[in-house]
Amino acid sequence: MKYAALALVLTISACGLLPEKVDETKNWSASKLYAEARDELATGNYETSIKYFEKLESRYPFGTFAQQAQMEVAYAYYRQSDQAQALAAVERFIKLHPNHPNVDYMYYLRGLINFNDKLGLFDFVSRQDATERDPKAAREAFESFKQLVERFPDSVYAPDARLRMKYLVNAIAQHEVHVANYYYRRGAYIAAVNRAQFAVKEYPGAPASEEALFVMTRSYDALGMPELRDDADRVMKKNYPNSVYYKGGRKADGPWWKIW
C-alpha cells in the first residue's frame, strides 16, 4: 500500500513537469487567423481550416471577419463531405444574417450540399436498383435552389441554380418512372399506372414523361382496359410521334441525366 501511494505521488509530480501544449494561434489577430484558415482551406486541410475559422469566430465574434468565417466554415464542412455540419452552418448563418449581402451564396451552398448528397437519388446513375433510393435530398436541393432564384433572381448563382433545378426535375421524374417500371415488372399494374400518372402530372415536359406514358399504355393493356390504354397511347403519339418506345428501345443520344 505504501509503495502504491508513493508511485501515485511520483506519477502526479511527473505530470506536473510535462510541458503544456502551446496554442500557436493564441496571439494571432483576426486577420491572421482568417488568412491562415483560408490557406488551409485552399490546400485541402479542411479539419485545420475549420478549427481556425471556429477560433476566429469565438475570439472575435463581432465584425466582418466573424461573419466571413461563418460562411467559410460551412463551405469547409461541405468540402469535407460532412453534410450535417455543413447544413447546420448554413442554416445558422441564414438565421443570424438574413440581410447579409452574400446570403444568396448560402442559399446556393445549401442547394449544392443536398444536390451532391451521395446517399440521395443520383446514385441510381450506377447500375443499382433506383427504386431503393429516396429522392428526399433531390427535393430539398430543388427547394433551396428555388428559394435562391425567387429571392435573388439577379444573383450570380441564379443561372446555375436554374440549370440544376431543371436537372432535378428530370431526375425526380425519372425516379418515379423507375418505380412505375418496378411495379409493372412485378404485375402491380394499378400501382404502375399511379406512379406513371404522377410523373406526367407533377413534372410536365420532363423527358421522363415519354416513358411514363408508355408505362401507362402497357399497364392499361395488361389490366384489360382498352379505352384508357388508347387514351394514353393517343397522348403519347401526339407528344412523341417518333418515340423509340414504339420500336422497343430507349433513346440512344446519351443518358437522360446528362444535361451538361
Number of domains the chain contains: 1
Which is it for the CA torsion 6, 7, 11, 14, positive or negative? positive
> What is the pLDDT of the chain when averaged over all its residues?
84
User: Does residue 72 form part of some domain?
Assistant: yes
d(CA 199, CA 38): 45
Average pLDDT over residues 48-58: 93
pLDDT in tens, 117-144: 644 444 444 444 444 556 888 888 999 9
**Is residue 207 assigned to a domain?**
no
Out of 70-84, 114-128, 188-202, 203-217, least confident range: 114-128
Query: Do 259 and 163 meet the contact criterion of CB atoms below 8 Å apart?
Result: yes
At residue 5, the pLDDT reads 54
Task: Supply the range of the domain harboring residue 70.
Answer: 29-96
Cα dihedral across residues 226, 227, 232, 233: positive or negative: positive
- Cut 0.75: pTM above it: no
pLDDT confidence of 185, banded at 50, 70, 90? very high
Cell of 245: 418506345
The reply to whether 53 falls in a domain is yes
- The rounded distance, in Å, linking the Cα atoms of 96 and 81 is 24
Q: Is residue 190 part of a domain?
A: no
Is residue 216 within 8 A of residue 197, CB to CB? The reply is: yes
